[in-house]
Amino acid sequence: MALFSFFAGWIGYLFICLLGLIFIAFLCFCLYIKYIHLKYDHIPGPPRDSFIFGHLPTIQREMSNDRVVHDKFLEWAETYGPVYRINGLHAVMLCVTCPDTTKSKYSVVLLLHRFFGNGLVTAQNHDEWYKQRRIMDPAFSSLYLRGQMGAFNERAEKLMDKLADMADTNTAANMQHMFNCVTLDVITKVAFGVELDLLKESDSPFPNAIEMCLKGMVHYVRDFTFQLYPKNKKFINEVKKSCQLLRSTGRQWINERKMAVQNGEDVPKDILTQILKTAGKEENIANDDEELMLDNFVTFFIAGQETTANQLAFAVMELGRLPEILTKVRQEVDDVLGMKQEINFDDLGKMTYLSQVLKETLRLYPTAPGTSRFIPNDIVINGIPIPAGVTCVFNSYICGRLDKFFEDPLKFDPERFHPDAAKPYYCYYPFALGPRSCLGQSFAQMEAKVVMAKLLQRFDFSLLPGQSFDILDTGSLRPKSGVVCNIRHRGQTPAA
């Protein structure tokens, strides 16, 4: 009995000590939060919801109510100016809409490292990033992509065939789904020489894998506690399997192509072949470089497909609501293309109003709304001293909807991007800016123009009544209802 009392006493003592340590640790954490508040509270910002959690409850509430969280950031920008702070626990983030600051260059922060590896989107080390960019650049130059116009046309024709079948059977088309299929088909064909034919009844796992990776990325970035809850374990495992599928497939395709090149076999003149040839000229290519190539494969697969599909869907949504703009852009397509099926590279440059429509789509609906930069040194932004060690977020959704940058910002007006109009000064950056701008932007815009031009040339479309025109925020922005359209051949009488 005495022995039991002895151990019970010690256990009680240890428990009290543990509680004391937890209390001291919590107190130290609170003191650190107070220090952070004192360090950054001279920067304007909305009132915090709580001392510890800062603005996180408001942000979480916006996201859980199926709203676009960027609308709240826009509201704060209109209230608190071009630089304001957001607090969350001990962290501080600055939302910046000051063009001169946007123009400056800072080191990219590693927000997406877990999903994209250490590829071009997420590489922090400049020398490492520069080496990757040097290898990748030739494959994404306009000169090289000009030679891929045949593949762009071929994949887009598959979509036209599918839409023709739907027009013949008077079947409504979910354009978001159609564009998701064709953009993924284009990427696998032009980049890797692989034909998925997703517009047919395909059982390919890639669309679902990409969807799962995007969902996982959103949870990882927006809720750091998501992985701690047992109820989310099944979802987390599905995300891991999806990432593993993309990486294992990429590794297989890269290795097969490397062997074919080394054996002198005929290989497709696609982006992968060009990258391997350029990499072969580099000195000291290590296993790490091959892993980086794989990281970029996953990045291209996930980021490239989703964003272009969403841009096309939003463009169709706006054209379906604005018949005057639809008539004007269709007339331009008819003038440039006439009845010919094959679009060449020079045709793309002649369709300037179509370019304006696509640019205006990205102003109002930037499919990847923001980019982050880490501030390693003390700086001054808009007259406000900013201590080092903070992350700045540059949000193209906010800038595109501020009336100080764009008059009547919620109006869809392609004339903003007329060749003679004043160029937006560092307030329009759907593909980011500077040397770290999106490598695949020429690829994406060529693809979007080919698909949209063929659609306008061949079909009339009208939006199905009753659907929402709201935005669904899944990390990237997409139309909530999928843009469901009635499709008709040009000149065909609408069905009764």
pLDDT tens digits for range 76-87: 999 998 899 999
Q: What is the DSSP string of 135-157?
A: HHGGGGSHHHHHTTHHHHHHHHH
pLDDT of residue 280: 64
Percent of the chain whose pLDDT exceeds 70: 81
Residue 458 structure tokens: 């061949």
pLDDT of residue 285: 57
Of these ranges, 25-29, 61-65, 219-223, 425-429, the one predicted with the greatest mean pLDDT is 25-29
Hey, is 460 helix, strand or coil?
A: strand
pLDDT for residue 119 is more than 70: no
- Which band of pLDDT confidence, cut at 50, 70 and 90, is reported for residue 150? confident
Strands 390-395 and 370-375: antiparallel
Average pLDDT over residues 333-357: 93
Lowest mean pLDDT among 3-7, 290-294, 398-402: 3-7
pLDDT of residue 115: 44
Strands 484-489 and 459-463: antiparallel
Q: What's the maximum distance between 2 C-alpha atoms anywhere in the chain?
A: 100
Percent of the chain whose pLDDT exceeds 90: 28
Beta carbons of 293 and 136 less than 8 angstroms apart: no
pLDDT of residue 111: 37
pLDDT of residue 437: 59
pLDDT of residue 414: 95
| Cα–Cα distance for residue pair 113/19, rounded to 1 Å | 36
Greater model confidence, 435 or 165: 165
Residues of the binding site: 438
Greater model confidence, 8 or 371: 371
- Which band of pLDDT confidence, cut at 50, 70 and 90, is reported for residue 229? confident
Average pLDDT over residues 165-179: 92
pLDDT of residue 122: 45
Hey, is 331 helix, strand or coil?
A: helix
Of these ranges, 110-114, 207-211, 285-289, 418-422, the one predicted with the greatest mean pLDDT is 418-422
pLDDT of residue 114: 40
pLDDT for residue 301 is more than 60: yes
For residue 316, with 0-12 CB atoms within 10 Å meaning exposed, 13-18 middle and 19 or more buried, which class applies?
A: buried
pLDDT of residue 295: 72
pLDDT of residue 261: 78
- Which band of pLDDT confidence, cut at 50, 70 and 90, is reported for residue 134? low
Lowest mean pLDDT among 110-119, 247-256, 275-284: 110-119
Lowest mean pLDDT among 31-45, 67-81, 159-173, 214-228: 214-228
Question: Does 1.10.630.10 match the CATH number of domain 42-489?
Answer: yes
Average pLDDT over residues 363-371: 82
For residue 114, the cross-strand partners are none
Average pLDDT over residues 286-310: 72
| Cα–Cα distance for residue pair 105/108, rounded to 1 Å | 9
pLDDT of residue 102: 66
Residues of the binding site for heme: 438
- Which band of pLDDT confidence, cut at 50, 70 and 90, is reported for residue 136? low
Distance of CA 281 to the CA centre of its chain: 31
pLDDT for residue 108 is more than 50: no
- Map out the domains of the chain as residue ranges: 42-489
**Average pLDDT value for the chain:** 81
pLDDT of residue 436: 56
pLDDT of residue 110: 36
Amino acid at 177: H
Average pLDDT over residues 315-340: 94
pLDDT of residue 106: 41
**DSSP H or E run through 106:** none
**DSSP H or E run through 113:** helix 113-116
Average pLDDT over residues 145-157: 87
